[in-house]
Amino acid sequence: MTIALFPGSFDPITNGHIDVAKQAAALFNKLYVVVMTNTAKKYLFTVDERVAFIQDALKDYPNIQVIKRPNDLTVNVARDLHANAIIRGVRNSSDFLYEQEIAAMNKTMSPEIATVLLFTQPENSFVASSIIKEVAHFGGDINSFLPPMAAKAVRKKLS
């Protein structure tokens, strides 16, 4: 069985994240979407809220399981879940360089786990949670960038 881990902070999950998760679900028997912590970020939503948004958005994919591991290292979670691969989403060339560094670090720590880069659809190539939160803060329309439950929660929290 092929098992993959799609880690992220997902604050909130975007259509780009959903795009990558769907691609990964088609490639692997089991996909864990794992809500984790990026210490460089300040979060709008709790871990449990982020998990709920993802579960709602991906509920039609039986081989996807959403879990939370906010205080763990990605490679350790991958080992615990017997994952063969870590999925990373790439929107553009800036993401690619950042993801290349993360992949090298993960490979050094866990050579047995592959990193798989999946590119978003072009319409998601500029969509970032931080930009969406900024647009929402100033009353802009974010509906086309987020799953409905997440969009509603962002509007509520930032209105």
Where does 12-153 show beta strands of DSSP type E? 30-35, 64-68, 85-90, 114-119
Going by pLDDT thresholds of 50, 70 and 90, the confidence category of residue 150 is very high
Question: Which structure tokens are listed for 110?
Answer: 């866990």
Asked if pLDDT for residue 1 goes beyond 90, the answer is: no
- Read off the pLDDT of residues 80-123 as tens digits, 9 standing for 90 and up: 999 999 999 999 888 899 999 999 999 999 999 999 999 999 99
41, 59, 82, 137: which one is catalytic? 41
Domain carrying residue 55: 3-126
- Provide the CATH number for the domain around residue 37: 3.40.50.620
> Is 137 within a domain?
no
Write down the pTM of the prediction: 0.94
The pLDDT value given to residue 144: 95
30, 88, 110, 129: the active-site residue? 129
Within-domain flag for 134 = no
pLDDT of 84: 95
Report the phi/psi class of residue 82: left, alpha or beta, with left for phi > 0 and alpha for psi in -120 to 50: left
For residue 157, is it within any domain?
no
129 included as an active-site residue: yes
Is 137 among the residues known to form the active site?
no
**Total domain count, the chain:** 1
- Pick the catalytic residue from 9, 17, 30, 88: 17
82 annotated active-site: no
**Residues 6 or more apart from 64 whose CB is under 8 A from it?**
21, 25, 31, 32, 33, 58
The pLDDT tens digits for 13-62 are 999 999 999 999 999 999 999 999 988 888 999 999 999 999 999 999 99
Residue of 9, 50, 91, 110 with catalytic role: 91
